[in-house]
Amino acid sequence: MMCIRMLQRLCVAIFLMFAITGGAAAADRPKEGVEADASTRQVAITSSFTGTEILVFGTVENSVQPSPEAGTYDIIVVVEGMPSPVVVREKSRVAGIWINTSSLPFASVPSYYAIASTRPIDEIADRALLDANQIGFDHVHMAHARDVDVDAATVQSFKDALIRLKEAQGVYVRRDFGVTFIGRSLFRATISLPPNVPVGPLTARVYLFKEGKLLGQYQSRVMLQREGIERFIHNFAISQPLAYGIVTVLLAAAAGLTAAFAFRKPA
């Protein structure tokens, strides 16, 4: 009997020990986080620039994902340009011709906004969370000028037009399945910069989600600047516009005279 009781106690002790250590393991299990970077920190706009691609890659720290395809985590990569003021104009027909009749200025909208994710962002997180972190075209803060008296529906239609036009220009890019896991924790996404990408610093942000909750984010900068002759000409045109204009005229005049001289009929 003693033997059995002792055995029972031992079992309980072992069970408790397992329970305690097991519980402690769950509580102590390191939190998941994200680390990421962009393949290029510096993109040069030269005279041969025709757009480029940057690779954003990163890893989920302490991943519990059993395989790349498991879909335990969701990643959203956002690459954003400097905010700039824009005006959206709407045409309507006046006396038979189409004229810009109404407009809505926006004080600050991203000049460039590329978003890639493991699946459509509205499946990843709810509206409030996306709004709070300004993830996605519809959730980015786009402030319209305050002194304009317009109703919410009109603002929305102008905002929709703004997003649509920016998408058509190729400077707002969305790729719903643009982020792929290539290991249990390693992921990558390519972000394309079109030839008309607005020149200026870019911010790359990577968000890690699990079951609709934001577990971590990581931020990095990509410089996008004119280099070489492109930089020289642009600076010249902006800082010395008078000299720039005169040089253009002299070049034009010289070209005209040279051609006339070269093709002059023998007298």
Partner 1 sequence: MTLYLPIAEMSVSVITFLALGGTVGFLSGLFGVGGGFLLAPLLTFLGIPPGVAVATSTSHVVASSVSGAMTHHRRGNVDVKLGLVMLAGGLVGTYLGVNFVRILTARGLFELTVSLTYVIFLGTVGTLILFEGINASRKPRAPGGSSLRKPGQHSWIERLPFKMRFPRSKLYTSAVPPVVIGMFVGFMSAIMGIGGGFVMIPALIYLLRVPTGLVIGTSLFQIVFVSATATVLHAVENKSVDIVLAVILIAGGVLGAQFGTMAGEKLRGEHLRVLLGMLILLVAARMAFDLAVRPGDLYSLALLPGAP
Please, is 213 exposed, middle or buried when counting C-beta atoms within 10 Å of its C-beta (0-12, 13-18, 19+)?
Answer: exposed
Contact status, residue 209 vs residue 218, Cβ threshold 8 Å: no
Of residues 173 through 202, those in contact with partner 1 by CB under 8 A are 195-196, 198-200
Q: Does residue number 141 form part of the binding site for partner 1 (CB under 8 A)?
A: no
Interior angle at CA 195, CA 78 and CA 240, nearest 5: 110
Among 147, 242, 266, 267, binds partner 1 (CB under 8 A): 242
* Identity of the residue, 49 or 150, whose beta carbon is nearer to partner 1 in the bound complex: 49
The backbone torsions φ and ψ at residue 32, rounded to the nearest 5 degrees and listed phi first, read: -80, 145
Compute the C-alpha angle 18/20/25, nearest 5°: 90
CB of 150 to partner 1, least distance (A): 14
Type of residue at 213: K
CB distance 215 to 209 below 8 Å: yes
Per CB under 8 A, the list member of 8, 39, 47, 219 interacting with partner 1 is: 47
Quick check: 150 binds partner 1 (CB under 8 A)?
Answer: no
Choose one: 8-16, 112-120, 164-172, 203-211; the region binding partner 1 (CB under 8 A): 164-172
C-alpha 204/C-alpha 130 separation (Å) is: 16
61's tokens? 């720290």
Segment interacting with partner 1, rule: CB under 8 A, options 6-14, 48-56, 120-128, 211-219: 48-56
Does the protein bind partner 1 through residue 248 (CB under 8 A)?
yes
Nearest to 88 by CA among 202, 29, 13, 168: 168
Determine if 225 is a binding residue for partner 1 (CB under 8 A).
Answer: no
Counting Cα atoms < 13 Å in the Cβ hemisphere of 86 gives: 18
Residue 220 sits at the vertex; the CA angle it makes with 139 and 227, to the nearest 5 degrees, is 105
Distance of closest approach, residue 30 Cβ to partner 1, in angstroms? 42
Return the number of the residue (108 or 133) whose C-beta is nearest partner 1.
108
Residues 60-89 that bind partner 1 (CB under 8 A): 82, 84-89
Binding site residues, partner 1, CB under 8 A: 45-51, 82, 84-93, 96-100, 103, 105, 158, 161-162, 164-166, 168-169, 195-196, 198-200, 226, 230, 233-234, 237-238, 241-242, 244-249, 251-253, 255-260, 263
